[in-house]
Structure formats: structure tokens, C-alpha cells
Chains A and B, each alone.
Chain A
Amino acid sequence: MKWNPQDIDMFLQSKEYVDTAVLPLLPVAISKDTKQAASMTEFISLLSMQLERQFRGRLLLLPGYSYIKTESIDKLLGDLKVWERELLENGFKHVLFLTSDSNWKAVENQLEGELIWMPSLPLVHMDEKNRNSLLEDQVKQLMNLFLQKWQSAD
């Protein structure tokens, strides 16, 4: 389900079935690595949209958490923990953060939720067909990860 009023109506009515929250982490950087940050943001947004299409009955896709990439990781970690607490305290069993930004890996073990890091692919240089099949592969990998997580929990 997505973060819009129609889907949220459905969510409120069937909360017991929606046990997974997905938060895309979307970096923004103006002073340097601007394009890289934009690619990461695009890639993760596309992936999470596809993921939502496949699993919309069980997961809630939150609007992404966008942040300034040059901000200190401790400050960012603090913010992320606020999200995490809100979600875990309100009934979500699985909280997953989706990112291409490797800075997060350094603090991964301080999170209660699970960090999924996917290297961002240079989508801009590809024609549509390659781009789609590549994305599809990545989505499949991600789906398997989710299925495993659910299976081990159920």
C-alpha cells in the first residue's frame, strides 16, 4: 500500500494483515556528488514502487526519508531511529530501510529494523529494454529477501 488516502483507508481496515513497513532512504547533495545522489534516489524509488506493486497487500511503502548526504551520520541515524520507533511501536513487525547509500552500512547494527543496501545501477546510460530487465532482476532479488524474511517469521 502506498501513502495516499485510498490505500490508507484499506490499511486502516486491514491492519492485521499489513506487518511490514518499507522506508526508502533518499540522499540529496548539492555541494558535491550531486548526480550520484540523484541516481541513488531514482534507483531506490523505482525499486520500491515495483516492490509495492508485487506485495501491496502486506507492506506499507512510506514516502521516502530524504536527507542531506553531507550531514553527519550520527545525526541522520538519530532521525532514522525516530521513524523506526514510530513504526515498531505501532504494530509493524518488519521495518525495512531501502538504500543505495553505503554510508548507512557503517551504522547498520545500531538499527532495529533491517537495512537493505542495493548498489545503484547507472540506469541513465541504458536503453529502456535493458533498463527494465535489469530492474526486474533487482526486484526479484528483493522479493526473495522479503519472502525469506516473512517465512522465517511466520
Chain B
Amino acid sequence: MSKNQVSRRQFLSYTLTGVGGFMAAGMLMPMVRFAVDPVLQAKAESDFIPTPQKVSEITEVPTRVDFKFEQQDAWYTSEVTGTAWVYLDDKGEIVALSPVCKHLGCVVDWNTDKANPDKFYCPCHGGLYTKDGTNVPGTPPVAPLDVYPYKEKDGFLYLGKAKPKKEA
């Protein structure tokens, strides 16, 4: 037997260390990820998604803006369409509201209920919101519509992740 040859014992110990190393890494990695994750998430949350809406074309009338983005759903990424109601408020500032009804999640529409003009209307159970997204008491929703943080880039509107409206 030449000296360079790996003995059975050495071979075993190498492989076991190797495998053990993998196993340890396999166990440690998720732990490290858990520890670091809040940082990663904070980054993901600040991601703004481009919309086809030109900022210069936003008016006082709420307009529906659709935008596409990739959504990761467990191990499966899919392209989903998001929607926002976008308009300028009295101060000329942009407002972007989530269309998801705070009652049970139907999609609300602007100004579609004849009995209640200039309101966001939920066709499912008659939920109503005023233009600024405040829920009208006496209708099922118990919270105002979520608000998208926004950014302007190259003349286009970018939207972040919709958040519950802060109590005024």
C-alpha cells in the first residue's frame, strides 16, 4: 500500500466530517436566516412597484390603476395584478388607496352606487367609504381602506405595500 493512499479509516472520517459539516450547515443556515430575516424583510418592504400611471395625469377623480408584480406564495412565484384608487386630494397631494374592502375583502368601486354618489362602494354587503377612504358608520366595514405609500420616479407612480391608515 503506498503512503498516499487513503486508508479505510481516513476515508470514513473524511466523509463523516464532510457529511456532518453539511448537516451542521443545514441546521445553522435557517437559524442565521431567522436572525437576519427582519433585516431582509425591511428591505423587501421598501420595494416600490412601478405602475403605468403618469404622475402628471393624476386628477381629483379617483382612477383605477392596475399594476403587475411577482408574488411569492410559499414555494411558488406567480404574477399577480394589484389595483389602487389614485387621485389628488384638496392639498394637491397624491392619495393611493387599496381597493380591498376592510369587511371581508371584496373589491370596492368608486361612485358606482347611485344612492351614494362620490363614495367608494363595496358591492358585496353595501360597504361605503368616503373619498379619503374613511369607512361610513352603519355599513359593515369597521376600518378605513388601506393606504399605499408612493413615490414618483421618471414621471411615473410607484407604489409600496398598502398599510392600514393611521388614526388621524
Whether the Cβ atoms of A56 and B123 lie closer than 8 Å is no
Q: Do most interface residues of chain B lie in helix, strand or loop, or is the interface mixed?
A: loop
In-complex Cβ contact of A17 among B107, B123, B124 (8 A): B124
Chain A interface size range = 10 to 19
CB distance from A117 to the nearest CB of B (A): 23
With an 8 Å Cβ cutoff, the count of chain B residues facing the other chain is 11
Contacts of A5-31 to chain B: CB distance below 8 A:
10, 14, 17-18
B103 interface residue (CB < 8 Å to A): yes
A113 to chain B, nearest CB (A): 20
A53 and B123 form a contact (CB under 8 A): no
Contact yes or no, A56 B125, CB < 8 A:
no
- CA separation between A57 and B103, bound complex, in Å? 8
Interface status of B19 (Cβ within 8 A of chain A): no
Flag whether B104 is at the interface (Cβ < 8 A): yes
Q: In the docked arrangement, what's the CA distance between A14 and B123, Å? A: 17
- Report which B residues bind A (CB closer than 8 A): 101, 103-107, 122-125, 140
Known: A55-B123, A58-B104. 19 other contacts (CB 8 A): A1-B104, A10-B104, A17-B103, A17-B104, A17-B124, A17-B125, A17-B140, A53-B107, A55-B107, A56-B104, A56-B105, A56-B106, A57-B101, A57-B103, A57-B122, A57-B125, A58-B106, A58-B124, A150-B123
A-B contact pairs, 22 of them (CB 8 A): A1-B104, A10-B104, A14-B104, A17-B104, A17-B124, A17-B125, A18-B104, A53-B107, A55-B107, A55-B123, A55-B124, A56-B104, A56-B106, A57-B103, A57-B104, A57-B105, A57-B122, A57-B125, A58-B104, A58-B106, A147-B123, A150-B123
